[in-house]
């Protein structure tokens, strides 16, 4: 999981009970069985999410924070043009990272406004409380919507937009889903627009495996909590002790996958679905994918989605990248100030 709240992957707080039931039914009736990561985030899931972010093994947040904190100025230079623009962050969360980029843009003299787009109005209130103090110059335009639904109706505007999709959220889509999402975003962009995207990079497999299987067992508890949610909201009779967290990482493909594995033969009734589900000993339930990339994969993905990479900013260890992508169609060379690749 790339674990940045605020969009398609974490919008269970607006999905009604029938949608939850319908998705659980479809997932547990599939082969192999699966559950949807969007439903991780009930109250307990949110608490565990925060604990994962603070775990020493979970490097992603610190890497991106380093990039934004230490390379904000060249990043702002790469983004800026001579015309005003709107910075649109999809799945913004509470603004804890983007503040470094906002300050760099202001210091760089950019004429911009900031539109954070998040499914949760409460999270946007937290963002405003974090960002407004000390920034009287910030033009803040929060929008509480599901960004996928919003993008489907969005068309290129007269004002230039720079979209931001941070935190390696793209990795949760898988390859086909990532191309579909990026193509949807590309259709909403004009030739002068740009995309700032965060991507987790391939690295020592031991580092990646530890990030999704921390020593304290918080990630395991986070995944197993979804069974507890099914029990609570749908009348399920899961015994979480009958399952174990079973992550895997394939260095060749860069795919980190999370599963729950049944520790015994068992039958689980779910009252709201009026169904029993059987699990054989050793059977796995797919939970999510967190894709890791290399340069060739990024070049292929951007091209297939209608973009080219215009600037590349990496942390000092080369574990994570924030890149500026621009549409393949249209001449961007005369308007984009390309910063040199960092890291």
List average pLDDT for each run of 10 residues in the chain, which is 343 residues long. 42 56 96 93 85 93 95 94 94 87 96 92 89 96 92 93 94 92 96 97 98 96 97 96 98 97 98 96 97 97 96 98 90 36 32
Residues 263, 281 contacting (CB under 8 angstroms): yes
Do 168 and 312 share a domain, yes or no? yes
Residues 192, 26 contacting (CB under 8 angstroms): no
DSSP code of 286?
E
Whether 155 maps to a domain, the answer reads yes
Domain that holds residue 298: 60-134+145-201+293-327
Residue 7 is predicted with a pLDDT of 38
Predicted TM-score (pTM) of the model is 0.87
Do 25 and 121 share a domain, yes or no? no
Compute the chain's Rg from CA coordinates.
21
Q: How many domains does the chain have?
A: 2
Q: Torsion over CA of 119, 122, 128 and 130, rounded to 10 degrees?
A: -110
Do 110 and 130 share a domain, yes or no? yes
Do 78 and 190 share a domain, yes or no? yes
Pairing of strands 255-262, 284-291: antiparallel
Do 117 and 224 share a domain, yes or no? no
Residues 23, 183 contacting (CB under 8 angstroms): no
Question: Looking at the DSSP assignment, which residues form a beta bridge with residue 34?
Answer: 286
- For residues 197 and 188, what is the distance between their CA atoms, to the nearest angstrom? 16
Residue 2 is predicted with a pLDDT of 53
Of 3, 8, 13, 229, nearest to 121 (Cα)?
13
Residue 16 is predicted with a pLDDT of 46
Residues 323, 343 contacting (CB under 8 angstroms): no
Residue 96 is predicted with a pLDDT of 83
Do 181 and 305 share a domain, yes or no? yes
In the chain, the N- to C-terminal Cα span, in Å, equals 24
Per-residue tokens: 159: 């004002």
Do 219 and 182 share a domain, yes or no? no
Whether 117 maps to a domain, the answer reads yes
Do 120 and 35 share a domain, yes or no? no
Do 222 and 272 share a domain, yes or no? yes
Whether 336 maps to a domain, the answer reads no
């Amino acid at each position: 999981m790339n674990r940045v709240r605020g969009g398609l992957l974490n919008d269970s707080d607006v999905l009604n009970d029938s949608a939850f039931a319908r998705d659980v039914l479809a997932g547990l009736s599939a082969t192999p069985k699966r559950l949807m990561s969007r439903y991780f985030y009930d109250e307990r899931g949110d608490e565990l999410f925060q604990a994962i972010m603070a775990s020493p093994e979970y490097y992603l947040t610190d890497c991106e924070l380093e990039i934004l904190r230490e390379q904000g100025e060249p990043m702002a230079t790469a983004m800026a043009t001579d015309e005003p623009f709107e910075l649109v962050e999809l799945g913004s969360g509470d603004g804890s990272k983007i503040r470094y980029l906002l300050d760099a843009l202001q210091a760089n003299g950019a004429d911009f406004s900031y539109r954070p787009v998040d499914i949760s109005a409460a999270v946007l209130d937290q963002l405003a409380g974090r960002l407004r103090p000390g920034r009287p110059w910030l033009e803040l335009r929060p929008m509480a919507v599901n960004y996928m639904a919003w993008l489907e109706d969005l068309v290129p505007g007269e004002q230039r937009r720079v979209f931001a999709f941070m935190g390696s959220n793209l990795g949760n889509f898988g390859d086909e889903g990532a191309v579909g999402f990026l193509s949807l975003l590309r259709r909403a962009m004009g030739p002068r627009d740009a995309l700032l995207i965060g991507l987790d990079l391939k690295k020592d497999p031991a580092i990646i495996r530890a990030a999704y299987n921390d020593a304290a067992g918080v990630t395991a508890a986070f995944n197993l909590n979804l069974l507890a949610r099914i029990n609570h909201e749908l009348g399920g009779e899961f015994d979480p002790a009958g399952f174990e967290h079973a992550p895997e990482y394939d260095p060749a493909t860069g795919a980190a996958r999370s599963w729950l594995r049944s520790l015994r033969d068992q039958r689980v009734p779910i009252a709201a679905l009026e169904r029993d589900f059987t699990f054989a000993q050793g059977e796995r339930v797919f939970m999510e994918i967190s894709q890791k990339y290399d340069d060739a994969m990024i070049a292929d993905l951007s091209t297939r989605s209608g973009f080219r990479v215009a600037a590349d900013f990496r942390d000092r260890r080369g574990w994570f990248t924030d890149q500026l992508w621009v549409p393949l169609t249209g001449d961007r060379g005369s308007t984009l100030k390309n910063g040199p690749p960092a890291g």
